[in-house]
C-alpha cells in the first residue's frame, strides 16, 4: 500500500509539472523573440535546473523557481512533491518564446 501511495504521488507530481510547463509556455505565445545571448543564457539555466533534478538536489531545484512561486509554495511543501524513484533526464531544449516580465 505504501508503494502504491508513492506511485500515486509521483504520478501527481509529474502531472503537475506538465501542467505548469503548459501554462508557462502558453503564457509566452505572443512575446518578443530572444536575442542569441538571452537564448543561450536561458538554455544554460534550463540545463542547470535539470541537472539539479538528475542529482535529486530538490532544495537547489526549488531555488530556480520564481519568487512568486516560492511565496506560494514553501520549500518543504515543494520537496514533498518529489519521488526519489523517478529518473530525470533532459532529452533536449526547445525555446519557443520567453517573456522575462
Q: Label residue 7 by pLDDT band (50, 70, 90).
A: low
Read off the C-alpha cell for 67.
Answer: 519568487
Asked whether residue 20 carries a pLDDT value surpassing 70, the answer given is no
21 Cβ contact list (under 8 Å, min separation 6): none
Q: What is the pLDDT of residue 81?
A: 78
Q: Say how far residue 27 (Cα) sits from the centre of its chain.
A: 15
**What are the angstrom distances between the C-alpha of 39 and each of 78, 83, 86?**
27, 31, 29
Q: Say how far residue 45 (Cα) sits from the centre of its chain.
A: 11
pLDDT digits 0-9 by tens, 23-65: 666 655 555 688 899 989 999 999 999 899 889 898 999 999 9
Q: What is the pLDDT of residue 84?
A: 66
Instruction: Please tell me which residue, 81 or 39, carries the higher pLDDT value.
Output: 39
Sketch the domain layout of the chain as residue ranges. 2-79
Asked whether residue 98 carries a pLDDT value surpassing 70, the answer given is no
Provide φ and ψ at 8, rounded to 5°: -65, -45
Amino acid at each position: 500500500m505504501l508503494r502504491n501511495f508513492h506511485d500515486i504521488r509521483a504520478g501527481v507530481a509529474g502531472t503537475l509539472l506538465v501542467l505548469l510547463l503548459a501554462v508557462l509556455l502558453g503564457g509566452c505565445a505572443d512575446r518578443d523573440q530572444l536575442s542569441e545571448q538571452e537564448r543561450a543564457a536561458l538554455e544554460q539555466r534550463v540545463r542547470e535546473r535539470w541537472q539539479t533534478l538528475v542529482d535529486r538536489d530538490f532544495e537547489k531545484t526549488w531555488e530556480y523557481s520564481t519568487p512568486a512561486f516560492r511565496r506560494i509554495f514553501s520549500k518543504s511543501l515543494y520537496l514533498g512533491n518529489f519521488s526519489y524513484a523517478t529518473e530525470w533526464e533532459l532529452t533536449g531544449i526547445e525555446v519557443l518564446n520567453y517573456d522575462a516580465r
